[in-house]
Amino acid sequence: MAEYIKLYEKGTDIKRINQIVSCLKEGGVIIYPTDTVYGMGCDIHNTRAVERICQIKGIKPNKNNFSFICYDLSHIADYARVSNAAFKLMKKALPGPFTFVLDGNNKVPKVLAQGKKTVGVRIPNNEIPRLIVKELGNPIITTSIRDEDDIIEYSTDPELIFDKFQHLVDIVVDGGFGNNVPSTIVDATTDDFEIIRQGLGELELYL
């Protein structure tokens, strides 16, 4: 059964963060808050954990559309090619409710790169996932926790999320109520910056 960990964004308990990081290093799967919807994730370099998330979500690894959560822009450059224009835009828009789709490089783990040349990257405006990534030393996967309810697409209550996933994941991080609007996805593989999905982030504010 999963462990339920309550964290506050301001004054986050570093002991608890390290406990979560240890779980990720051992191949654990966690659920955590972001600045948009709650996400499920693992260490991007742990193939077995990535496959486990695919199993939980009922998708094949080569059909995944997972994004990474990075701590800052230097983290992003480790895994993706970023043009000068994209870097300037991301510097203004991040941390924030955006997923930027970029051309991946050869450091993207094979299990995530199957049949794909691009990666989605996020730097959420929420200290909890960013601190987890900072202490871990590399990005974690992010994939949203969807709800079967057609009206409420995304679960926002961490206690209800725990009830649903307690036997599937290792840790559920309660960071308070989540949002029910996902991130805005931006294609930044060219400098035309096309919106693939309109979500919480307003790209026009940064162009």
According to DSSP, the β-strands at 3-6 and 194-197 are unpaired
At 9, the pLDDT band (50, 70, 90 cuts) reads: confident
Return the pLDDT at 59: 86
Of residues 61 and 17, more confidently modeled: 17
Question: Which one, of 197, 168, 187, 189, lies nearest residue 57 by Cα?
Answer: 168
Question: What does the pLDDT look like over 119-167, one tens digit per residue?
Answer: 999 999 999 999 999 999 999 999 998 766 666 667 899 999 999 999 9
Cα gap 134→118, rounded to integer Å = 23
Map out the domains of the chain with their CATH numbers: 3-206 (3.90.870.10)
Percent of the chain with pLDDT over 70: 97
Geometric angle at alpha carbon 40, from 38 and 46, rounded to 5°: 155
pLDDT bucket at 11, cuts 50 / 70 / 90: confident
What is the model's pLDDT at position 134? 96
Whole-Å CA distances, 191 to 28, 77, 98, 106, 138: 37, 16, 16, 22, 27
**CB contact at 8 A, 109 and 138:** no
Through-space distance between the first and last CA atoms of the chain, rounded to whole angstroms: 46
CA dihedral 65, 113, 186, 127 (to 10 degrees): 80
